[in-house]
Amino acid sequence: MNKEGIITGGPHAAHAHDSAAGHHGHEHHEQHFIWKYIFSQDHKMISKQFLITGIIWAIIGALFSVFFRFQLGFPDTAFPIMEKFLGEWAKGGKLSPEFYYALVTMHGTILVFFVLTAGLSGTFANLLIPYQVGARDMASPFMNMLSYWFFFAASICMLVSLFVETGPASGGWTTYPPLSALKEASLGSGIGMDLWLLGMALFVVSSLLGGLNYISTVLNMRTKGMTMTRLPLTIWALLFTAVLGVLSFPVLFSGVVLLIFDRNFGTSFYLSEIFIGGKALPHIGGSAILYQHLFWFLGHPEVYIIMLPGMGMASEVLSTNSRKPIFGYFAMVISLIGITVLAFVVWAHHMFVTGMSPFLGSIFVLLTLLIAVPSAVKVFNWLTTIWRGNLRFNPAMLFALGFVSLFISGGLTGIFLGNSALDIHLHDTYFVIAHFHIVMGVSAFFGMFAGVYHWFPKMYGRFMNNTLGYIHFFITFIGAYLIFWPMHYEGIAGMPRRYYDYSAWESFKQFQSINGFISIVALVVFLTQLLFVFNYIVSIYKGRKMTTLNPWGSTTLEWTTPILPGHGNWEGEIPEVYRWPYDYKDDGNGNDFIPQTTPLRPGEESH
Amino acid sequence: MSGFIITSLIILVFVIIYQIGKASEYAAVLRGEKKVNAQVNRAIAFMLLAIFVLGVWGIWVCHQYFQDKMLPVAACDTGVNYDSMFRVTIMVTGIVFFLTQAVLFWFCFKYQASEKRTTFFFAHSNKLELIWTTIPAIAMAVLVAIGLKNWMQVTSPAPAEATVIEIVGKQFNWLIRYPGADNELGKRDFRKINDANNVLGLDWTDPHNTDDIIAQNGEMHVVVGKPVKLIIGSRDVIHDVGLPHFRMKMDAVPGITTTLWFTPTITSDSMKLITKNPDFVYEIACDQLCGKGHYAMRGTIIVETQAQYNKWMASQPSYYAISNPQPAAPGADSTKALPVADSTKAISMK
């Protein structure tokens, strides 16, 4: 690779060149606060911006879930504290149904898009891609900065929508029309929905700017010797995440734009034969199902956009802390490719009961259950990775192990839902809630936590507190199962999701006490996440200082950079790579790992 | 004020936990970090094993608690097939679940860090990959085969003798239309809808409409042992006809007509005995978020014998008679005109 001129374009190109030539950027000129911390083009700073914005959104989104869990768990009790937070929407401490639905909708939107897409990919693709492929920064640092600021603009849009008089969008995170298209249909379909659509449109722009950057960096800016087959699995995973996003987000964009047209300009893409608010609307000929196809063409790849980074990071963390190579590197890459390709041809399994042709349904059943195969390969490879290892249980490792456990549990229930003949009863029940929360909610979060604990020293030059990490892990892991395991049973009984109150239903009111139990656990788990945030913030300033370059004994390139690298990452030359990233074996000097930068010994075969 | 106190308390607790955490790390340094780390590692390995054992026990307890609550008695033939397929899938996934989780936690315990162990450099094995690609593929093929067989069955065309009933969702209740004596549902047009006297927009120029019966209380009557075909529609947004006891579900989409059919095999009265619940009722749950009243969009199904059904049907006036209470109206004879006045009041829109 061409090391000179790796960073082209952008006002700081020259600055990065300086570092490349072996100078300290900081010695030259102290960057102004605004350029260093706000409009930064350094991938490391942008990754922190994504992570911190993601954390703020995660607190808001999780707090919403605590509020609506109060309602679900204790429908007859008033919680005056909710009135403090929500004002009019929770008069007398009881949520109104409209706002209950708004909270459910925003909880989904925030967690799926703003936390587990932007907060997860944005953080770790930005942090790890340049570090682990051996690049000074992204292909286009300027576009990278724009990616964050479009995300920020999208965040502002969503945040504002929380404060408008008619409330934020309340049609579910999938915002199916006509409910979301007609102002008469619900309060949340007013200005709140417009802000939601605008926010999502901006979000798509951010995601595309980021994704294109990630792909071009991985493909073009690898350091000398870093062939594709020497990339760590994190990079493979983040690469396919970006590919998924780049190919599917534009389809959501088109869906969103058509919905904006239907709402504001009198078109009938999604609307047909509707009588609402006492009058028949003029729309004829549209199809409400069209939106679902457009939405789920993104929506399904989206769950893999959320899952893949976690898979990559879990692979890396498991291997490092087992002191063993990842088992089946190529099988891992091929299964990632398999998942990526299949992700595009399974979307209609969310639509088995929309009246879609049953024949088409059966094709989607076949393709959906096919995904179980690469997923199973990954699980077995992780298990073999820890087999006969030497496991160090630091918090990152625990979260990676928890990730595997949750991925198994949540993945297996997908086999029920992907099979249309079983889905017809389980569709839109609590079984679905349990399934996707375990597999792409909690499990993806575990991947993210593993990443944060593992790379925190690289981000801040300090460690997070281990004891708090252990408390965080055990409560979250046990809590997640306590919350979502019983929900499977409720779903099997047919209990529908998105209900404000079940007390009028003969078939479902029997689950009241279990709903209360779930709500209490949810509150405990929420407070534990605050403990994590507390640990995160305090450790930035007070954490134990990093004294060695490579605290975990890792093989990958990021641990060859200085403790707090400047813009450009390496002082002097970018190191050259000679071997794959999983050489966890005796190096002949008493170490149990060989960094990628160590040349092959005479007679040693490259992996 | 109370909010402030709670927030400060939480932060205080966090600070205390953090200080303890930090103190323990300093203590570890004093006592020899390596030794303490090894102890912690061992303790955590035990805790992981304990979590697995407790977890299995917890699953058992949970299962006991939910056993007779989770899958309600299936009240149709396809529902019985559903339950057996469900059990097969539970078995397959259950075995995989326990094996993989047991292996995961056992490896955690068995291979916890130890000074003595040298790790086994084991990077790949095509044989193993082949095994665990093939076995899941075969298992999936079996499940797909069972699934598609059942899927074909539940989505097959309804038998010709099926009773046809139309069910239309609106915010936030179900409207149910029976075809009446001519056994044919007349045309309807959303532009003719009028909440006062034409809730479904029936086209009065179509003679098939004059004997159609509309129930606005969301109560559907069907005959036990006789196939029933639902013609599903929506007036406004997407709803969904969810029938947990019949293991059926189908969206109600404005502008599109969907259908489903099933053959109820247990009457509501028998079901009260089976479930030992005198209040038992088959419920129609809206399963697609449709607005603020979504959670209250409840319908019911009364499964009864042919005799009970005929008796009930005979007492129902046609919607035409209710909406057009002139004695001269075609299809509404004078005997049926009497209850009409009362019904009109009863069904007037809220």
What's the per-residue H, E or C state across A548-562? CCCCCCCCCHHHHCC
Partnered with residue A276 across adjacent β-strands are A279
Q: Which of A321, A357, A368, A380 to probe the B interface (max B CBs under 10 A)?
A: A380
Instruction: Single out the residue of A18, A48, A584 nearest to residue A324, CA to CA.
Output: A584
State whether A494 and B69 contact (CB < 8 Å).
no
Measured CA to CA, the distance from residue A4 to residue A39 in angstroms comes to 24
Q: Is the pLDDT of residue B316 over 60?
A: yes
- Per the CB < 8 A criterion, the answer to whether A489 and A517 are in contact is no
* pLDDT exceeds cutoff 70 at A250: yes
Asked if A384's CB is within 8 angstroms of B128's CB, the reply is: yes
Q: Are B343 and B317 in contact (CB under 8 A)?
A: yes
Residue A16, pLDDT score: 43
Q: How many CB atoms lie within 10 A of CB B128?
A: 17
CA distance A26 to chain B (A): 32
Alpha-carbon distances, residue A541 vs A265, A394, A463, A464, A545 (angstroms): 52, 21, 10, 10, 10
| A445: its two tokens | 């979060």
Interface test with A, best of B114, B168, B286, B289 (most A CBs within 10 A): B289
pLDDT for the residue numbered A80: 86
Contact assessment for residue A160 and residue A202, using Cβ atoms and an 8 Å cutoff: no
Q: How far is CA B92 from CA A413, B8, B143, B244, B321, in A?
A: 11, 50, 9, 23, 57
Which positions in chain B touch A355 (Cβ < 8 Å)? 232, 250-251, 253, 256, 258-259
Residue A390 φ/ψ region, left for φ over 0, alpha for ψ in the -120 to 50 degree band, beta for the rest: beta
CA contacts within 13 A on the Cβ side of B77: 11
pLDDT tops 90 at residue A93: no
Q: Which of residues 198-237 of A touch B (CB under 8 A)?
A: none
Q: Could you give the CA distance from residue B22 to residue A462 in angstroms, rounded to a whole number? A: 13
User: Mean pLDDT throughout A287-293?
Assistant: 95
Each residue's pLDDT tens digit, A160-215: 999 998 999 999 999 999 999 999 999 999 999 999 999 999 999 999 999 999 99
C-alpha A504/C-alpha B217 separation (Å) is 15
More confident residue, A38 or A374: A374
Q: Is B106 on the interface with A (CB under 8 A)?
A: no
Find where tokens 């299962």 sit.
B63
**A-chain residues near B58 (CB < 8 A):** 481-482, 485
Query: SS3 of B286, please?
Result: strand
pLDDT attached to residue B22: 83
Q: Taking the CB of residue A573, how many other CB atoms lie within 10 A of it? A: 12
The pLDDT, as a whole number, for residue A510 is: 93
Grouping H, G, I as helix, E, B as strand and the rest as coil, residue A242 is: helix
* A178–B104 C-beta distance less than 8 A: no
Neighbours of B106 (CB within 10 A): 15
| DSSP per-residue letters across B243-257 | EGGGTEEEEE-TT--
Contact status of B164 with chain A (Cβ, < 8 Å): no
What's the half-sphere exposure (Cβ side, CA atoms, 13 Å) at A109?
A: 29
Q: Report the side by side order of strands in the sheet with B239-243.
A: B219-223, B298-304, B282-286, B239-243, B248-252
A330 touching chain B per CB within 8 A: yes
Residue of A127, A121, A124 lying closest to A44 (CA atoms): A127
State the Cα–Cα distance between residues A554 and A539, nearest whole angstrom: 22
Instruction: Residue B249: name the closest of B140, B151, B145, B176 by CA.
Output: B151
22-51 in B: which are within 8 Å (CB) of A?
A: 22, 24-25, 40-41, 44-45, 47-48, 51
The answer to whether the CB atoms of B69 and A415 lie below 8 A apart is: no
A387-391, A440-444, B333-337: range with lowest mean pLDDT:
B333-337
Q: Extract long-range pairs of B45-49: CB within 8 Å, 24+ residues apart.
A: B45/A391, B45/A393, B45/B108, B45/B109, B45/B112, B46/B109, B47/A474, B48/A393, B48/A401, B48/B105, B48/B108, B48/B109, B49/B105, B49/B106, B49/B108, B49/B109
pTM of the model: 0.92
Q: What is the pLDDT of residues B32-85, one digit of tens each?
A: 888 888 899 999 999 999 999 999 999 999 999 999 888 889 999 999 999 999
List all residues 6 or more positions away from A362 whose beta carbon is below 8 Å from its beta carbon. A420, B148, B151, B152
Q: Does A592 touch chain B (CB under 8 A)?
A: yes
B56 and chain A in contact, CB less than 8 A: no
Indicate the pLDDT class of residue A578, thresholds 50, 70 and 90.
very high
- Residues 6 or more apart from A78 whose CB is under 8 A from it? A92, A93, A94
For domain B163-347, the question of CATH label 1.20.120.1760 is answered with: no
The proportion of chain B whose per-residue pLDDT surpasses 70, expressed as a percent, equals: 92
Which residues from A are below 8 Å from B247, CB to CB?
A: 424-425
Q: Which of B104, B136, B295 sits opposite A376 (nearest CB)?
A: B136
Q: Does B9 touch chain A (CB under 8 A)?
A: no
The per-residue pLDDT for range B205-229, each reduced to its tens digit, is: 999 999 999 999 999 999 999 999 9
| A272: contact with B, CB 8 A cutoff | yes
Mean per-residue pLDDT, A329-353: 95
Residue numbers in A near B271 (CB within 8 A): none
* Mean pLDDT across A514-524: 96
CB A399 within 8 A of CB A470: no
- A339-356: average pLDDT: 94
Test A391 with B111 for CB contact under 8 angstroms. yes
pLDDT, tens digit (0-9, with 9 covering 90-100), for B115-166:
888 888 888 899 999 999 999 999 999 999 999 999 999 999 999 999 999 9
Indicate the residue of A97, A383, A508 with minimum beta-carbon distance to B292: A97
- Which residue ranges form the domains of chain A, and what is each CATH number? 36-560 (1.20.210.10)
Task: Please state, as a whole number, how many other Cβ atoms lie within 10 Å of the Cβ of residue A77.
Answer: 11
* Record: fold of B73-114+125-156: Helix Hairpins (1.10.287)
A516 touches chain B (CB under 8 A): no
What residue of B is the nearest CA neighbor of A477?
A: B51
Please judge whether B151 and A289 are an interchain contact, meaning their C-beta atoms are less than 8 angstroms apart: no
A101 and B289 within 8 Å at the Cβ level: the answer is: yes
Residue of A nearest to B154 (CA): A421
At CB < 8 A and 24+ separation, what contacts does B140-146 make?
B140/A369, B140/A370, B140/A372, B140/A373, B140/A415, B142/B92, B143/A369, B143/A415, B143/A419, B143/B88, B143/B89, B143/B92, B144/A365, B144/A366, B144/A369, B144/A419, B146/A421, B146/B85, B146/B88
What is the rounded average pLDDT for all residues in chain A? 91
Determine the distance in angstroms separating the CA of B298 from the nearest CA of chain A, rounded to an integer.
8
The pLDDT value given to residue A412: 96
Q: Which two tokens stand for residue A565?
A: 């690298």
Mark yes or no for CB contact A280/B71 under 8 Å. no
All CATH 1.10.287 domain ranges of chain B, comma separated, are 73-114+125-156
CA distance A306 to chain B (A): 23
B132 touches chain A (CB under 8 A): yes
The reply to whether residue B143 touches residue A415, judged by beta carbons under 8 angstroms, is yes
C-beta neighbour count of A542 within 10 angstroms: 12
Token pair recorded at residue B171:
């915010």
Pair B137, A373: CB distance under 8 Å: yes
Contacts of B94 (CB under 8 A, 6+ apart): none
| A17, pLDDT greater than 50 | no
Q: Does A494 touch chain B (CB under 8 A)?
A: yes
Residue scoring higher pLDDT (B8 or A334): A334
The pLDDT value given to residue B347: 37
Task: State the helix-helix crossing angle for B126-155 and B77-110, rounded to 10 degrees.
Answer: 160
Give pLDDT, residue B326.
63
**Per residue in A547-569, pLDDT tens?**
999 999 999 999 999 999 988 99
Q: Which residue has the higher pLDDT, A589 or A147?
A: A147
pLDDT band at A606 (very low <50, low <70, confident <90, very high): confident
User: B270 φ, ψ to 5°?
Assistant: -65, -35
Show Cβ contacts of residue B307 under 8 Å, excluding neighbours closer than 6 positions. none
- From CA B326, how far away is CA B13, in angstroms rounded? 76
Domain(s) labelled CATH 2.60.40.420 in chain B stretch across: 163-347
CB contact under 8 A, B25 and A398: no
Beta bridge partners of B188: B202
Residue (of A393, A400, A528, A395) closest to A456 by Cα position:
A395
